[in-house]
A = this chain, B = another copy of it.
Amino acid sequence: MSEIKPEISSTEEKIMEAARKVFLRKGYAGTRTRDITLEAGINHALLNYYFRSKQKLFEAIMQEKIVKFLGNLIPVVNDETTSLEQKIHLVVVNYTEMLLENPDLPIFVLSELQKGNFEAIPIVKVVKDIANSSFFRQVATARPDINPAHFFMTMLGMIIFPFVARPMIELSGLVSHSSFNGMMEERKTLITAWMKTIIHEKPM
C-alpha cells in the first residue's frame, strides 16, 4: 500500500515552522523573508522555490492561524445536545486553554485582519457559522430583551482581552509575567460564573 498523500518535504516544513514563528511575532509588514530563512536555517532561494512569494507563504500561515483562532469554538457552539450553561463553561475553558498555548494569536489575527494583509473570504463561512449557532439561539431564548451578540462579544472580550493587552498589563505591575498564566486559570471559573449571572439576571 503506497502513500497517497505525499510527504511534506522536511525543508518545506522547516520554512513553515519558521514562518509561523516570525510572522506571529512581527506581522506581515515587519517580517523580512531573510528573517524566516535564517530562522529556518535554510538557503534563501528555497523560500521562493517552495512558496513562490512572501505573500503566498503568509497566506498559508494565516489560513492556519484563523482555523486555530476560531475553529475550536464551532463544535461547542453548534452542539445541539448541550445546555447554554454547559456551552458557556466549555467555551471559556477550551478557549482559555487554547490561548495559554497561543498567547500571541489574537493580536496577530486581529491586527492583520484590520490591516487587510490577506484575503478575508476564507474566514467568512467560519464566522457566519458561529453567528447562526445553537449557542446564539439559546441566548436569544434566555434573554429576548438583548441582542445575543452583546453576550458573545462580552464573553470573548473577557477571555481574550487580557492576552491582547498583556504587555500593558505587565508594565502596570498589576500582573507579573510569572503570575499571568495562573491568573488566566483563575479566570476560567470567574468568567463562567459571571456569564451565567448576567444571562440569568432579571430583565430591567
Contact = CB atoms under 8 A, between A and B. Distances in A.
Interface of A: 25-30, 104, 107, 110-111, 113-115, 117, 120, 123-124, 127-128, 130-131, 146-147, 149-150, 152-154, 156-162, 164-169, 171-175, 183, 186-187, 190-191, 193-194, 197-198, 201, 204
A23 to B, nearest CB: 12
Contacts of A114: 104, 107, 166-167
**A interface secondary structure, majority:** helix
Contacts of A25: 115
Contacts of A146: 190
B201 A123 contact: no
Contact of A127 (B128, B168, B186): B168
A152 B174 contact: yes
Given A29-B29, A115-B27, A150-B183, A164 B162 contact: no
